[in-house]
Structure 1
Amino acid sequence: MTTRTASARYDGLGKDGKGHVSTQSGVLSDNPYGFNTRFDNEPGTNPEELIAAAHASCFTMALSFALAKEGYSAGTLETDAAVTLDKDGDGFKVTKSALKLKGRVAGIEKADFERIAEEAKKGCPISKLLNAEITLEHDLE
């Protein structure tokens, strides 16, 4: 159906190496990443930040469409995602993606909002991709 692409280059090896990542759309174009951007919070991006952005945007869009399908037509959704990278033997593993949702949806009951949000969390393509715990906190204003 749809295929999107991205590319990464890493010059040098290990901690001394420097990477650059680009996306098909050009939103990311030769953006730096590496050990220091991943573990020392230096300027640039990292895989976990990109996964968090992908998960937050995918879930929020899935919820928007699910709400529209249920007949709701006005609202605002804001989602933060926190992706956790933990030690796993000699390597690392993404173990969790914690979604925090704030929503304003005209005319919705809290129970309906919670039900639809949980379904969107489970049905979002990025949620299905992740082999990690996925949590959802929500706040309906």
Structure 2
Amino acid sequence: MHLEHDPAAPAADIIGFEDFLKVDIRMGTVVSAEPYPEARKPSIKLAIDFGEGIGVKRSSAQIAVLYTPEELVGRQVAAVVNFPPRQIGKFMSEVLTVGFPDEEGRVVLFAPDRKVPNGARLF
């Protein structure tokens, strides 16, 4: 699957609302972060607390160009929590942390402009 990063690209194919609801995007708080220098692209290993229902999940995020592990701890981030786990090198990533590419293609994390409860679902 190739994701289009061109801001001038047309919208993706139309889907039904039921298809949108299948993607479970939740808010969580980063509880730990550490460099992942073994990854092919500059990455950071995250542990994210999604609250009581989902718990703490791990994610390998290609965000090391713009972020340091120290500044991520305590920050709220959004992630897809219902994809199957994916092996990223020697690390098992359990959720997909989401962001948007900036003008240079670097990942900018997606976060709310106000604090929301861990586990809150995007709708």
TM-score by length of 1: 0.25
**Larger of the two Rg values belongs to structure:** 1
Higher helix fraction (1 or 2)? 1
TM-score by length of 2: 0.27
Greater relative contact order (Cα < 8 A, sep 6+): 2
